[in-house]
Amino acid sequence: MRHFLLLLFAFSALALTAQDEYTIDDRKAIKNYEVALQAFNARAYTDALRRLNDALARETDFIEAHLLKFEVYIEKGVFDKAEESLLQALAIDPDFFPNGHFFLGELKFSNGDYTTAKVAYEKFLTYRRTNPNMQDEAGRKLTDCDFALDAMQNPVPFDPINLGPGVNTEHPEYFASLTTDDRTLIFTRRLPVGGTDSEQEDFYRSEYKDAWHPAVPMEDINTAGNEGAPFISPDGQLFFFVACADNIGSYGPDRKGYGSCDIFYSTKQGNRWSRPQNLGDNINSPHWETQPSFSSDGRTLYFVRGVKLRSGMVRQEDIWTSRLDDMGQWTQAERLSEVINTPQKESSVLIHPDGQTLYFTSNGHPGMGGEDIYLSRKQEDGTWGTPVNLGYPLNTHGNENSIT
């Protein structure tokens, strides 16, 4: 639903100001609405709902009050109530607020109700004087609805198996990387920091011998800061990961960075890992680099770069690549073409050991909703082919990522 919230505010759902004219005449109902509007703007949502309920008790067809309740419930994260209020407003007069059909489509699409979402988007597109960006988004979502409905009629084989208690715990485990012999798994685990509300991300390693053995922390790599997005080379001798600067700019002991999050590497030396080194400014930048994946021939690195805003949010996430030249130097990173990257988000890149198949996550290609997993195959001319969605039920209306 986070994507829905971003769209709601980006496209300015309602003009949240008092009006000279309303759809009803009852002065007490209008007064309650205007007091509710003030409470909403002050983020006093409980008070706003109480006043709106008072207004609607007097005038059940008060469209503006239903729409403001929709906004209040969206802010509170109560999406079923938000949908209920929006439907009530549209039932009274479907033409009063054309954008309402778009937001109904978004709510239904986010829940995987593609049939109803499609009807809502199509209704929205019958109105001419609406936001062009919303029109574009509705058109894109109609394509997604058609794809999703077809995918659900033609499911792909998918039978996931839990890796068991050696790897999975009550805490979150994610961003796993596996050696080509299927014997060593490295992943990120997020644990609470004792006595605080903070959480700590560290790397853990599990070895397979008839079953996955209890994972142990990678003490040579882990620090008091957060480490994430691990990738172990196919032969198990080279380890890439991401470290982010803390609030004083530190990436961890003896680590230097270029800004935000950088990619580091370490080599295996006997039973230990070497001191991590930054990959350098041909790969890392003042922006945000993460999720490295290294080809089995030891020459090509793929990773994700985004722009981190002052708010802490990351935008413009795309897949980039750099090659290790004959002198052992990384070439200047290049962004993959628009065949792979879209104006939306691409992440969780993985290059298959065959060097010809690229897996990644995107919410910009036709899919089921949220972020789906895709693959692209390298063409004879060296370019990447049109991405293929891995299908349903591997992909759903939620977010899928981090294929290993």
Q: Could you list the pLDDT tens digit for every one of the 404 residues in the chain?
A: 545 554 554 445 555 566 778 999 999 999 999 999 999 999 999 999 999 999 999 999 999 999 999 999 999 999 999 999 999 999 999 999 999 999 999 999 999 999 999 999 999 999 999 999 999 999 999 999 999 999 999 999 999 999 999 999 999 999 999 999 999 999 999 999 877 778 889 999 999 999 999 999 999 999 988 889 999 998 899 999 999 888 777 888 889 989 889 999 999 999 899 999 999 999 999 989 999 999 999 999 999 999 776 666 667 899 999 999 999 999 999 999 999 999 999 999 999 999 999 999 999 999 999 999 999 999 999 999 999 999 999 999 999 998 88
Cα distances (Å, whole numbers) of residue 197 to 135, 191, 193: 42, 11, 7
**Residue 249 and residue 117 share a domain:** no
**Residue 178 and residue 138 share a domain:** no
**Residue 75 and residue 29 share a domain:** yes
Domain boundary among 306, 335, 364: 335
**Residue 322 and residue 247 share a domain:** yes
**Residue 119 and residue 55 share a domain:** yes
Are the C-beta atoms of 191 and 199 separated by less than 8 Å? Answer: yes
Domain that holds residue 7: 2-153
**Residue 142 and residue 52 share a domain:** yes
- Tally of domains in the chain: 2
Structure tokens that stand for 142 in this block: 């109609």
The Cα 375–Cα 319 span in angstroms is 13
Please check whether residue 343 lies inside any domain of the structure: no
Quick one: pLDDT at residue 304? Answer: 97
**Residue 90 and residue 177 share a domain:** no
**Residue 291 and residue 142 share a domain:** no
Quick one: pLDDT at residue 7? Answer: 52
250-276 pLDDT, tens digit per residue, is 888 889 989 889 999 999 999 899 999
Domain boundary among 100, 120, 153: 153
The Cα 394–Cα 157 span in angstroms is 8
Please check whether residue 76 lies inside any domain of the structure: yes
Upstream peptide bond of 366 is cis (omega within 30 degrees of 0): no
Rg (CA), the chain: 25
Please check whether residue 404 lies inside any domain of the structure: no
**Residue 215 and residue 136 share a domain:** no
Quick one: pLDDT at residue 6? Answer: 47
CATH of the domain at 48: 1.25.40.10
Please check whether residue 383 lies inside any domain of the structure: no
The Cα 232–Cα 261 span in angstroms is 19
What are 232-235's contacts with CB under 8 Å, separation 24+? 232/177, 232/178, 232/179, 232/184, 232/186, 233/179, 233/294, 233/296, 233/298, 234/179, 234/180, 234/296, 234/353, 235/179, 235/180
Q: Exposed, middle or buried, 307 (CB in 10 Å: 0-12/13-18/19+)?
A: middle
The Cα 10–Cα 1 span in angstroms is 14
Please check whether residue 350 lies inside any domain of the structure: no
Domain boundary among 288, 318, 335: 335
Please check whether residue 166 lies inside any domain of the structure: no
Please check whether residue 381 lies inside any domain of the structure: no
**348 closest CA partner among 369, 377, 384, 372:** 372
Are the C-beta atoms of 385 and 332 separated by less than 8 Å? Answer: no
Quick one: pLDDT at residue 10? Answer: 47
The Cα 363–Cα 203 span in angstroms is 27
Structure tokens that stand for 75 in this block: 């802010």
**Residue 190 and residue 149 share a domain:** no
**Residue 134 and residue 43 share a domain:** yes
**Residue 180 and residue 142 share a domain:** no
Return the half-sphere exposure (C-beta side, CA atoms, 13 A cut-off) of residue 388.
Answer: 10
Quick one: pLDDT at residue 31? Answer: 97
Quick one: pLDDT at residue 254? Answer: 85
Please check whether residue 256 lies inside any domain of the structure: yes
